[in-house]
Amino acid sequence: MADSRKNFTLSPLGGLGEIGLNCMVLECGDSMIMIDCGIMFPEDYLFGIDIVIPRFDFVLARKDKLKGIIITHGHEDHIGALPWLLPYVDAPIYSSRFTLALIESRLREHDLDRYVDLRPVEGRQRVDFGDIAVNFFRVCHSIIEGFGLGIETPTGRIVHTGDFKIDRTPLDDTNVTDLEGFAEFSAPGVQLMLSDSTNVERDGYALTEREIKQSLSDIFAKATGRILVTLFSSHIQRMQEIIDLAETYGRKVAISGRSIQNNIDLSRNLGYLRASESIFVPMDSVSNYPDDQIVLLLTGSQGEPLSSLTRLAMSEHRQMRIKEGDLVLMSSRFIPGNTRAITKVINRLYKLGAEVLYERVSGIHASGHAHREELCQMLRTVKPKFFVPVHGEYRHLVKHSRLAVECGVAKERSLILEDGQPLRLFEDNTMRLLDHITVEHIYVDGKGVGDVGSSVLKERQLLAGEGLVIVNLVIDEKSGEIALGPEITSKGFVFEQHYAHLLEDAKCIVLDIFENIPPGEIQKLKDRIRGSLRRFFRKVLDRDPVVIPVVISL
């Protein structure tokens, strides 16, 4: 009879149905591990929300079983939620040396770095977690030292690719997907494969870094003015290419943006980025050099409001201005949801006289996620019995599931899971979907975690869409007459000077209501003011602001 304690359960808490929020729990017997612990950046309609994190109740209820947290690589959608989990669990974190350095830096911001056990691992290393063992395999991605995973369980072998692509002509051997390692691990047979779905809609292969560097080299050779480059601050390999090209073409490099500066310093200290000290110049010294001798590395690839590139586009940068002849290279992809902000920055840069090159018009960025042919190559290497697509929106999961069928996985064994849908593997090589578990997007707003829910967001949406009208009224308690007011203030509703006549009419409505409400019935007075003014504004302006009556009895 099979030992039910050895059945293996996979529970996705995030990352299946959205881009970001990657977090998965694996359980077997008395052992449990987590794979990744990421955030998601908020959509435009989440007014005031800083980041989105998974709900960790499922993990906390089983924290005594948690043997370790596996981080595949150092992007925020894989490490960013750790500060909100680690105060409540006691488990070591396993990842590459570079990823752990990024994690330590992030935890230091939350004063947690002293309390966390960070354990570096290497490619082809195996770590035992009781009933589960994990083998780490190097993968090529848009950040150095990423891992895919080969997981050993009593119910069979599992492959988790992590975020990966297959670079056919790598610049060096440090950022290569270890297909040979995956093949050796998969040789005895793989029960289940979990694979990155982000770029399943793109045919062929992703551009290689060698092709990107050649494109950048051609641009550097022709540029006659300053070159401004914005990119993800964690893309160390791309930064190395920019610095190498600057040295080749006799340019100095200046840096604007704390995250890029911090990651360059960290990478140089750990030996991941090679650059002589003489190549760098302070931002304050840029004007001392001819334009054709300067390269600037800037934050702002996603149009972030306070980033260096955005401040330059808005002519608000403290140390420099955009001018005719500047060439801006946006060497990163447009993350869904950020397109409007990015295009606004691009338009502003053109208005100031700069030329802008980005992924859609020039080959200056290579995605770190596998295209269809690379996904097929990984499927053919692993040859899984069952397949579950991960890391993508729902349409990505569907299309990747279909691709797996094309690559030889039986249709009934190519499964689409969503967040909160556990999957159990049994020793007899069968699988079963379990009852859904509670998962939820938790909103982080400043120091508040989870205190902003749907009702608060709805109020913020109303305020953003229609504005606010405040009615102040002071009543003399003895005489029952109005001592002060009514005063009407508009916030985000109308320009008060332009609509002074409208607000005067609103005051008259308030006075009429006051005359018809018995003395002392303050709540009734407030309700009547709120309802009457909303009807008035809807009739006159076809707008429905939030009306807040403030009635004080003295």
pLDDT per residue as tens digits for the range 343-385: 999 999 999 999 999 876 667 888 899 999 999 999 999 999 9
**Residues 181 and 217 occupy one common structural domain:** no
Q: Mean pLDDT score of the chain, rounded to an integer?
A: 89
Q: Do 234 and 184 reside in the same domain of the chain? A: no
Mean pLDDT of all residues in 435-450: 80
- Give the domain CATH number at 380: 3.60.15.10
Identify the residue with better confidence: 231 or 467.
231
Together in a domain, 149 and 266: no
Domain boundary, last residue among 449, 478, 508: 449
257 and 319, same domain (yes or no): yes
Q: How far apart are CA 124 and CA 334, in angstroms?
A: 33
Considering its fold, how many domains does the chain have in total? 3
Compute the average pLDDT of residues 84-97.
96
196 part of the active site: yes
Expressed as residue numbers, the domain containing 327 is 209-357
Does 400 belong to an annotated binding site? no
Within this chain, do residues 184 and 327 fall inside the same structural domain, yes or no? no
Pick from 73-87, 115-129, 425-439: least confident:
425-439
Q: What's this model's pTM, rounded to 2 decimal places?
A: 0.84
**436 annotated as belonging to a binding site for a ligand:** no
Q: Give the pLDDT band (50/70/90) at residue 170.
A: confident
Q: Per residue in 190-240, pLDDT tens?
A: 999 999 999 999 999 988 888 899 999 999 999 999 999 999 999 999 999
- Tell me phi and psi for residue 58, to 5 degrees: -60, -40
Please indicate, yes or no, if residue 2 is contained in any of the structural domains. Answer: no
Domain assignment of residue 93, yes or no: yes
- The percentage of the chain sitting over the pLDDT mark of 90, rounded to a whole number, equals 64
Q: Are residues 61 and 196 in the same domain?
A: yes
Question: Which of 18 and 489 is assigned the larger pLDDT?
Answer: 18
Tokens coding 287: 């004007």
* Catalytic site residue from 160, 167, 326, 369: 369
Query: What pLDDT sits at residue 2?
Result: 46
Averaged pLDDT for residues 486-490: 84
The answer to whether the CB of 118 falls within 8 A of the CB of 100 is yes
Q: Which residue has the tokens 């008259």?
A: 508
Any domain includes 460: no
From 404, 420, 449, the end of a domain falls on 449
Is residue 517, in this structure, part of any structural domain at all?
yes
Q: Are 67 and 80 in contact (CB under 8 A)?
A: no
As given in the structure block, the two tokens for residue 115 are 């309390």
Q: Which residue has the higher pLDDT, 400 or 493?
A: 400
Let me know whether 184 and 323 are in one domain.
no
CA 352 to chain centre: 30
Q: What is the pLDDT of residue 385?
A: 95
Q: Phi/psi zone of residue 109: left (φ > 0), alpha (ψ -120 to 50 degrees), beta?
A: alpha
Selected residue with higher pLDDT from 30 and 496: 30
| Residue 427 and residue 385 share a domain | yes
**Domain shared by 287 and 389, yes or no:** no
Exactly one of 36, 167, 178, 196 is catalytic; which is it? 196
| Residue 454 located in a structural domain | no
User: Is 369 one of the catalytic residues?
Assistant: yes
Share of the chain above pLDDT 70, in %: 94
| Statement to judge: residues 427 and 440 lie in one domain | yes
Q: Work out whether the CA dihedral 350, 356, 358, 362 comes out positive or negative.
A: positive
Q: Is 434's pLDDT higher than 90?
A: yes
Displacement of CA 303 from its chain's centroid (Å): 14
Q: What's at 246, amino acid-wise?
A: A
Tell me: do 501 and 397 sit in the same domain. no
What is the CATH classification number for the domain harbouring 293?
Answer: 3.40.50.10710
Pairing mode, strands 126-128 and 133-139:
antiparallel
173 is in an annotated binding site: no
Asked whether residue 50 is marked as a ligand-binding residue, the answer is yes
Instruction: Look up the CATH number of the domain holding residue 520.
Output: 3.10.20.580
pLDDT band at 433 (very low <50, low <70, confident <90, very high): very high
Residue 462 placed within a domain: no
Is residue 91 a part of any domain in this protein?
yes
Is 234 marked as binding a ligand?
A: yes
The annotation status of 95 as a binding-site residue, yes or no, is: no
Is 75 annotated to bind a ligand? Reply is yes
The reply to whether 362 falls in a domain is no
pLDDT at 252: 96
438 and 477 inside one domain: no
Alpha-carbon distance of 536 to 542, in angstroms, equals 9
